[in-house]
Structure 1
Amino acid sequence: MKILCIAVAVLSLVSVGQPASLACNNLLTPTDKNPELLGRWHMIAFASESCLATTLFNSLVWPSLAMDVTSKDKPNTYDYNIKVKMYGFCFNETETFIYENSKMIDLDSNNSPTGDPDVVLQTSCPDCIVLKSNDYIDTLLLLSKRKSVSDAELKEFETQTQCLGWSAVKMLNTEFDFDNCKILNDDISDEEAETLGNNILSTMSERLSGMYNDIYNCFRDKVWSYFY
């Protein structure tokens, strides 16, 4: 049975070709342009080196995410306010980063670099940023000034993840209304906590119904990677 499963996985992927190496070299090269960072960036899609982690995150959490970038007094230094919405509740957090040589580097309270930098990769999308992050798990993230991107722009992002040999792209929730939601903080009441719990369970049950096929695809692709 195990051999049969492997055979099915291999046969199902025989027709899938690796993107041309030249195209991959271009797509995985850090950008040589300085993007206009100021303003709101909508987080559209993401992928990671771990298919299972990506699948679970998108099935169980599926947040809306946006990032408001404002300039600081120092050159190339910015504040970014991350806005998160999930299950009808919102929260946000502000951090500071410096942009140098196609890299975004977080700064601590003493304005000292902290953590691994995020690398801004090439993209043909005129108002998009593709970030490669190595914080906890290697991740690729597509952000745009628009609330959605074209099929061609999304396809290019999918090709970038294929070049890395990573899991399939997952679409984030694109409901970016951060004004009409309850603020999630330490002062949340018991009633609000109960509402949040009910919303989470209801949404999870709906999304979990399609998760099993995604998990199968994760294992199928993992098996295929041993033969490729």
Structure 2
Amino acid sequence: MKTLCVAAVVVLSLSSVCQAASLACEKLLKPVDKAPDLRGSWYFIAISSKSCWVSTLMSSLLWSSIQVNITSKDTANMYTAEFKYKFHGYCDTDSEDYLYENNTLFDVDINNTPKGQADVLLQSGCPDCFVVKDDEGISFLFSRRQNVTDAELKEFESQADCLGWSKPQVFSSDHDYKNCLSAEDEDVDTSRLPSLIFERIKNTYTVQLKCLTETFYSFPDDALKWTQQNLSNFFLF
């Protein structure tokens, strides 16, 4: 009888833990009720991805720092995002126009018409952050600050875990965009870039090995899902 009681307590405890985890994930994966004011300067803090290779290669090859300045346009809900990139001492810039609507962001064409799938803004407990998840299996954590707290980064990690995605990789926090070489200038010597990338790869080999291991162990599950899906489609005919 005593053994039975102990077993019941264990089962109930596990059930409570699972329910708490489920509720936490439900909250983290819910789109924001009200987005922050997107205007102003933001920093890319971390990236997570459905495939660990996306975030791993971003960290292992480029080790970039990215800042974006968002301004509103004359058209309602339209914004221009001006990006500054820095990687291995070289800098570059880019700009994109976006439509913000119903807590989602859309790329737009030259006529400001939405195109493609929407990027969704997810919940974040960080007071000056926002999280964007796109339809290609990538999410980004942005903040007004160049660095966030360990707890805020841990929350983003939990969010990625709820999605079943890879552990986030953190961007470089070197945002000195004045003292760097322009990647757009044809006269700038970029011959050192391959060696810098190779050195970065050597210094982050453990991250790459972990991703390789995760990919290897995911093959049976992916194969099973593919088989189940294709068998289901076959029996529908």
Q: Which amino acid aligns with 1:151?
A: D
Q: More deviation in 101-110 or 216-225?
A: 216-225
Residues 84-139 of structure 1 deviation map (CA, whole Å, 9 limit, x = unaligned)? 111222111111111111101111111111222111000011110100012xx310
Counterpart of 2:8 in structure 1 is none
The corresponding residue for 2:91 is: 90
SS of alignment partner, residue 166 of structure 1: coil
- Partner of residue 67, structure 1: 68
Q: What count of residue pairs does the alignment treat as equivalent? A: 203
Q: Which residue in the other structure is 1:221 paired with? A: 214
The residue number in structure 1 matching 2:196 is: 203
Larger Rg: 2
Residue in 1 that maps onto 2:24: 23
Alpha-carbon distance in structure 2 between the residues aligned to 1:60 and 1:219: 16
Q: Check if 1:144 corresponds to 2:143.
A: yes
Aligned to 1:7: none
- Residue equivalent to 1:188: 186
Q: Deviations over 1:182-209 (max 9, x none)?
A: 2222x411xx23xx221x2332232222
The answer to whether the 8 Å contact 1:55/1:211 transfers is no
Q: Which amino acid aligns with 1:49?
A: K
Cα gap change, 1:102 to 1:21, in 2 (>3 Å): same
Q: Which TM-score applies when normalising by structure 2?
A: 0.79
Question: Which of the two has greater helix per residue?
Answer: 2
1:213 Cα deviation from its structure 2 partner? 2.1
Distance apart, 1:224 and its partner CA? 6.3
2:58–2:64 contact (8 Å) kept in structure 1: no
Q: CA deviation at 1:66?
A: 1.0
Moved over 6 A (4+): none
Q: Is the 8 A contact 2:35 2:121 kept in 1?
A: no
The one-letter code matched in structure 2 to 1:217 is K
TM-score of the superposed pair, with normalisation by structure 1: 0.82
Q: Letter of the aligned partner of 2:186 in structure 1?
A: I
Q: Greater RCO between the two (CA within 8 Å, min separation 6)?
A: 1
Supply the AA of the counterpart residue of 1:168: K
Identity %: 40
- Give the corresponding residue for 1:43: 44
Q: Quote the residue 2:7 is aligned against.
A: none
Q: CA RMSD in A?
A: 2.0
Equivalent positions of 1:31-180 (< 5 A) are 31-134=32-135, 137-180=136-179
